[in-house]
Amino acid sequence: MKAVIPAAGLGTRMLPVTKTQPKEMLPILNKPAIHYVVEEAINSGCDDILIITGRTKRAIEDYFDRSPELEEFLKKKGKEKELEEIRRISEMANIMYVRQKEPLGLGHAVLLAEKFVGDEPFAVLLGDDIIVSEEPTTRRMIDLYNREGAPVIAVMPVERDDTKRYGIIKPSNLSRPPVYTVDDLVEKPAPEEAPSNLAIVGRYLLTPEIFTYLKNISRGKGNEYQLTDALKLFAFSRKLLAMEIKGVRLDIGSPESWLKANIYMGKRSGII
């Protein structure tokens, strides 16, 4: 299975740090957020990974590349543990890059993966969403795809008041947790208009048919090409599933959620 990690957004909620530092490279303890996302892809069986980057995102490529000078330095100093860790990162997976020249939205970013994907199903993991769970979420989604033969999006229940911050699915009346058939998707509905409290999180298991839909949507919310709009069209004519995640989802997109993510991981690892 191939994996696509979109990481080309400008991260405006995290400005000014994201002026020069990719949001996906912000540290969660001593690892950048995207490290955890790449680990999930690998642990789910995805060896070929395409990261969608853009201007000011060079640090992502450098992070997963070899660093001969640093390796030499650590070797001379006898810092074997650090040396091993640095080498391991550069050998984690077969990572390729494509640049999104303008941040025209997540839908536009995913469309850039068309050639890389070919005609197989593929996983999409957002570079700013970490899911801490025993079994990797993407692995569970691949298993569901293999059983049902339909694309899957990950969802999680949210407080009714919070529906306005997420894409929300309308599950079919017949579906039961943790797997739902999606009838419709609504972008950031007010609580009284939300068709459920199931919010879309940053994991998708898609088939190449999605590219046809992505080519047919026009600019939506924020004047950007939205993946949600393509999925909505998809759900009207084909079977689309949603699966509840297990574990804890950490969003690093705003100062508050980034700080909470660090506190959570700090407590989990016993540092604080």
- Report residue 6 as tokens: 């979109």
109 scored as a contact of ligand UTP (CB under 6 A)? yes
- Report residue 159 as tokens: 């407080």
Q: Which of 74/163 has CB closer to ligand UTP? A: 163
- Closest approach of Cβ 128 to ligand UTP, in Å? 4
- Residues whose CB falls within 8 Å of the CB of residue 225, separated by 6 or more in sequence, listed in order: 104, 105, 106, 107, 108, 111, 214, 217, 218, 219
- Closest approach of Cβ 116 to ligand UTP, in Å? 14
171 scored as a contact of ligand UTP (CB under 6 A)? no
Residue with tokens 């017949």: 174
From 52, 152, 153, 158, residue interacting with ligand UTP (rule: CB under 6 A): 52
The SS3 assignment for 52 reads: strand
The SS3 assignment for 261 reads: helix
Stretch that binds ligand UTP, among 9-17, 191-199, 239-247, 263-271 (CB under 6 A): 9-17
User: Cα-flanking dihedrals φ and ψ of residue 179, to 5°?
Assistant: -120, 135
Stretch that binds ligand UTP, among 102-110, 133-141, 184-192, 237-245 (CB under 6 A): 102-110
Distance (Å) of CA 161 to CA 62, 190, 192, 213, 260: 40, 8, 9, 31, 20
196 scored as a contact of ligand UTP (CB under 6 A)? no
Q: Dmax of the chain from CA atoms?
A: 64
> Binding residues for ligand UTP, how many (CB under 6 A)?
21
First-to-last C-alpha distance (Å) of the chain: 37
167 scored as a contact of ligand UTP (CB under 6 A)? no
From 2, 3, 4, 11, residue interacting with ligand UTP (rule: CB under 6 A): 11
228 scored as a contact of ligand UTP (CB under 6 A)? no
Residue 234: strand pairing partners = none
6 scored as a contact of ligand UTP (CB under 6 A)? yes
From 1, 36, 46, 105, residue interacting with ligand UTP (rule: CB under 6 A): 105
| Residues found near ligand UTP in the complex (CB under 6 A) | 6-13, 23, 52, 100, 103-106, 108-109, 126-128, 253
